[in-house]
Amino acid sequence: MKKFIVMNTLLLVGLLITTNILAQQGAGTIKITGTVKDELNAPMPGVTIINLATKAGTFTKDDGTFEIEAKRGDSLSARMIGYQSFNVVINNVIHFDIKLEAANNSLNEVVVVGFGEQKKISLVGAQSSVKVEDIQTPVANLSAALAGRIAGLVGVQRSGLPGSNSADLWIRGISTFNGSGNSASPLIVVDGVQGRDINSFDPEDIASFTILKDAAATAVYGVAGANGVILITTKQGKPGKVNLMFNYNQGITSFTKTPDLVDGVTYMLLRNEAQKNSGMTPEYSNNYINNTIKQEDPYLYPDVDWMDALFGSTAMNRRANFSARGGSDIANFYTSLAYYEEESLLRTDALQSYDASTKFRRYNFTSNVSMNWTKTTKFDLGIQGYVTQTNYPGVNPEDAFANVMQTNPVLYPTMYPGGYVPGVSTEGAQPNPYAQITQSGYQNLFGNQIYSNARLTQDLNSIVPGLTATAMYSFDVNNTHNISRTRTRSQYLLNRVIPYFDDGTMNLKLIKEGIDNLNYSRSNSGRRSNYFEAGLNYQHDFGPDHKITGMVLYNQRELVEAFASNVTSSLPYRRVGIAARGTYAYKDKYFFEADLGYNGSENFIPSRRFGTFPALGIGWVISNEKFFEPLKNTVSFLKLRYSDGVVGDGSGGNRRFGYLTLVDTDADGFSFGSRGGAVQKSYGGTVISSYGTDVTWAKSHKRDLGLEFNLFKDRFTVVTDIFTERREGVFLQRSLPGYLGLNSMPWGNLGIIENKGIDGTVTLNPVQIAKDLFIDFRGTFSYNRDKVIENDEPIPPYDYMDRRGVNYLSTFGYVAEKLFENQDEIDKSPDQSALGNTRPGDIKYKDLNGDGVIDPYDRTRIGNGDVPTTIYGFGFNLTYKGFYVGAFLQGISGADRVISGDGVIPFNNSTGPERSNLFWQAEDRWTEENPNPQAFYPRLGYGSSANKMNSYTSSWWVKDIDFIRLKTIDFGYNVPKKFANRLKMKNARVYLQGVNLFYWSKFKLWDPELNTGNGTKYPNVRTVSLGVQANF
């Protein structure tokens, strides 16, 4: 009993003592410990830790650790110049692992590089990025929003058709021979996975967008990065309360520019003139023309504005995105759902029982989860995908638009009463554009895509300080399923002699029998891709002055076609490689980097299958030198960098397994005469493609010299690069004489092409210009010029005919001097009879070799091609209290296009007499009454023979397509926080945005970006949208 009383007494005393200690501790100070690291998980010494309640402070040690005393309820702040402050309130947690994020535009900012991340100050490679806010525009495809935004990225919008309105992209122009089968497009890398589609993502889900331009930046990708690399990272989770974001905008679209065509009466007058000039009887009588003017019977005397008949003035698009982000230090997430819908301006027939409208819908989803399984093990899982639905008429809208451009306004009406389709009986008759769009059925195109990637990161610091291991696996799959329900309606022609019966009904003649029922067909396509990488990363500081990093990584990719059409395409496409990088920094002044890519390709024999592609880079931050201190108030940062390296191209021409010779065993063989009227043949094989075992990698030697400087305490920044590239061994078919009897010319490493240029970015960070009024500015500039050094073509008899020494896309043709004014001038000029009959009003060509004859030996370079040599963009933002306005303009120069074909060459009629429409510029033509030698059009002729002299490719038809475009303009208002909080929102804004509103260009026929020589492309569109964004 005594023992029990003693034990209980001791226990009570101990409990009282413990309670007293805890009470004192709760009322007094406690010791707080922690570690501070940067975004690369490197310890940060010298970070200031302040107790905001007591103003007491300390600094982190060399290993990033700290100790400080505080009371519960006190606030601690971790601060360092160039980083965002981190604040925390002390409750029950007494140890903190803090990660500081670099401030915007800070040199300590961590940026994405190939297979990793680096601090901005340490970069020695050439790369550029764009704020993701600048590419969040109401367009279907991300590529369409990039032109002019990033130095070094060339982008051209080739079509505005919903579902197909992506842009062509090149990094620093074209440095290869497109015609040889080598792609000039950059490699797309999304969340570390190569080969993904840039247009598969909703812009709201993108966290960063960067392009890699030189060898030091792209060498780690080996052959895949030969044409530059685009790096995209999607948004990830962040520890903290769940943040909900909703963004919705709805817009009205219209064409930026449609061709201006002549009306029916003008067409008939011009056609009569053309036929008279060609010695023919005019087609249209004065009575016919007068009846067309009266329009008392539009079915017998039609005058159709086909643009107005097929296209409305406006259409709608909509975009919505809902996302959630949050979590804890153990696990966090980002997830989003997005919707985009775009309608076209094509009209439909409401009487049809099916939907033949042109529209595009896409549903995106993104889910990124990060989990810290242990203090040293991190697991990241990302899944992105979309489902698309595209609805088209029974014919491709692009084809229908081409027919609009080529159907004359008096050929027939859109429809006859009762739903009868007008047509014409002539062979090669022009299809009725309205019937194609509204009466031909419909097509449904369904697509789905899943991107998935899982990454495991293991901190091996306990084994080797600064060492981490990573492994990632991704599985991507996409499928398309197309259903077509189409028909060809019967066509009728109104009898011109007896157009109406006594009861007033039309006397329609069936000229082409069709079907009213819808046919059914379907097709499928798809592919799946497996990607795996595993590597080691090392990062360590040896004292305050020496910093070393290293990376070695193995990667492999396999691509399989799900619906292969032959044995070759059914085999998996495989690529393997090793990437390595090492960096050294001394006192944040001198930087050295070595990069290596080692890749294998199936296109070469085993002994030539693997290639090594190294690069070196150096950087010098001059502003960190002591002698520079007096200048730092003006020039706050100055850096020089240089890179030199080799990247490879292993595309192997235009097919797989390039070292194999292909033989067609079903060839006709050889004829050995005839017997009994029957040709005697010996059947055998024919070589259809020959490469040879000596083909190997095309190699591109790249050099880059970069200069970066900031002025006036980093308010004004400039980054500029001068670069050169020489690509040798590009795959080309040999130019051999026909008498060798080869069915197909063999391929080889024959081509050499050079590319040189300069690009840069100028940024004015927000500056206060009045009370509550701030302005910022950003401009980009990119210029490049390629030159063909060797193309294996025979040396021409005259230097001006040589396609070497000029850019690859150069246009060759005749030099047009003027239009002949009279026969006397023709007689005194070089003889053009080798090209056809010459008449007054025809184009006069220049005799380049001075032999008195115009023939193919007088053709030379007359144009640059339609890929610009210069692309630029500039814009500003103004903010005043809660209001803001911004504008961005983008332009190109150094591009031109040859206009040609039906609709451009008046009454050329290459496929039938009806296949012709006229631009209004036809009114500016050469005539005997107006013998203007510089008129837009030569004299009019009817038929291809009469127009032969003026149809040759010549400088007369080369048109400058340079332009400057108001790409975006934004007006917005940020709702006051107090008001937003009343509505249970953290913040909110409303905005009005315009895209592609206006452009200025000498080219007046159609939107100069369209990839067409006669306007037969669906036009680009402008958009005006109203939106709202709210965070909860």
- For 672-701, what is the mean pLDDT? 66
Whether residue 94 is found in the same domain as residue 138: no
pLDDT confidence of 407, banded at 50, 70, 90?
Answer: confident
Q: Model confidence over 803-825: pLDDT tens digits? A: 999 999 999 999 999 999 999 99
CB half-sphere exposure, 486, CA atoms < 13 A: 17
3-state SS, residue 437: helix
Q: Which of 42, 76, 99 is the last residue of a domain?
A: 99
Whether residue 193 is found in the same domain as residue 212: yes
Q: How far is CA 11 from CA 1, 3, 93, 836, in A?
A: 15, 12, 28, 119
Q: How far is CA 25 from CA 18, 29, 32, 187, 417, in A?
A: 10, 6, 13, 59, 95
| Residue-level length of the chain | 1032
Question: d(Cα 379, Cα 955) in Å, to the nearest integer?
Answer: 61
Helix-strand-coil split of the chain, %, nearest 5: 15, 45, 40
Provide the residue type at 158 as one letter.
R
- Higher-confidence residue of 145 and 547: namely 547
Dihedral of CA atoms 706, 707, 708, 710 in degrees, nearest 10, equals: -170
Which residue, among 427, 254, 430, has the nearest Cα to 342 in the 3D structure? 254
Residue 167 contacts residue 180 (beta carbons within 8 Å): no
Q: How far is CA 229 from CA 188, 214, 617, 754, in A?
A: 6, 9, 17, 19
Q: Which of 99, 124, 154 is the last residue of a domain?
A: 99
pTM: 0.84
Q: Which of 50, 79, 99 is the last residue of a domain?
A: 99
Whether residue 39 is found in the same domain as residue 115: no
Query: Residue 673: its pLDDT value, please?
Result: 57
Q: How far is CA 718 from CA 210, 452, 677, 708, 777, in A?
A: 17, 38, 81, 6, 12
Which residue, among 935, 959, 969, has the nearest Cα to 1010 in the 3D structure? 959
Whether residue 125 is found in the same domain as residue 219: yes
In a domain, 1010, yes or no: no
Element (H, E) at 893: strand 883-893
Whether residue 42 is found in the same domain as residue 87: yes
Q: Which two tokens stand for residue 755?
A: 């590319």
* Block residue for tokens 């087609």: 283
Which residue, among 637, 604, 623, has the nearest Cα to 716 in the 3D structure? 637
Q: Which two tokens stand for residue 856?
A: 């193919």
DSSP output for 971-1030: EEEEPPHHHHHHTT-SEEEEEEEEEEEEEEES--SS-TTSS-SSS-SPPPEEEEEEEEEE
Pairing of strands 773-790, 811-813: unpaired
Highest mean pLDDT pick, 328-332, 380-384, 424-428: 380-384
- For 189-209, what is the mean pLDDT? 89
First to last CA, the chain: 65
> Exposed, middle or buried by CB within 10 Å (0-12, 13-18, 19+), for 340?
buried
Question: Angle of helix 264-277 relative to helix 286-294, nearest 10 degrees?
Answer: 170
Whether residue 126 is found in the same domain as residue 178: yes
Q: Which two tokens stand for residue 211?
A: 């392009």
In a domain, 188, yes or no: yes
Which domain covers residue 124, as residue numbers? 110-240
* Block residue for tokens 């993701």: 132
In a domain, 202, yes or no: yes
Whether residue 137 is found in the same domain as residue 86: no
Question: d(Cα 319, Cα 231) in Å, to the nearest integer?
Answer: 24
Query: Residue 483: its pLDDT value, please?
Result: 94
In a domain, 211, yes or no: yes
- The total number of structural domains that make up the chain: 2
Q: Which two tokens stand for residue 526?
A: 């798809």
Strand partners, 897: 959
Whether residue 117 is found in the same domain as residue 203: yes
Q: How far is CA 519 from CA 67, 390, 440, 491, 522, in A?
A: 78, 19, 10, 18, 10
Number of other CB atoms surrounding residue 1014 within 10 Å = 21
Whether residue 141 is found in the same domain as residue 175: yes
Whether residue 231 is found in the same domain as residue 205: yes
Which residue, among 909, 808, 628, 835, has the nearest Cα to 174 in the 3D structure? 808
> Exposed, middle or buried by CB within 10 Å (0-12, 13-18, 19+), for 863?
buried
Q: Model confidence over 535-577: pLDDT tens digits? A: 999 998 888 889 999 999 999 999 998 887 777 778 888 889 9
Q: Model confidence over 155-181: pLDDT tens digits? A: 888 888 888 766 788 898 888 876 434
CATH of residue 155's domain is: 2.170.130.10
Q: Model confidence over 59-92: pLDDT tens digits? A: 888 778 889 988 888 888 887 756 777 888 888 7
Q: How far is CA 723 from CA 620, 645, 708, 771, in A?
A: 18, 12, 15, 43
Whether residue 80 is found in the same domain as residue 156: no
Which residue, among 806, 748, 804, has the nearest Cα to 603 in the 3D structure? 748
In a domain, 339, yes or no: no
* Block residue for tokens 């209001």: 883
Query: Whole-number mean pLDDT of the chain?
Result: 86
Inform me whether the pLDDT recorded for 11 exceeds 60. no
CATH of residue 79's domain is: 2.60.40.1120
Provide the residue type at 1015 as one letter.
G
Which residue, among 303, 414, 320, has the nearest Cα to 361 in the 3D structure? 320
In a domain, 943, yes or no: no
Inform me whether the pLDDT recorded for 755 exceeds 90. yes
Query: Residue 674: its pLDDT value, please?
Result: 60
Inform me whether the pLDDT recorded for 1023 exceeds 70. yes
Whether residue 91 is found in the same domain as residue 116: no
Pairing of strands 240-255, 1021-1031: antiparallel
Query: Residue 917: its pLDDT value, please?
Result: 81
pLDDT confidence of 919, banded at 50, 70, 90?
Answer: confident
In a domain, 34, yes or no: yes
In a domain, 703, yes or no: no
Percent over 70 (pLDDT), the chain: 90
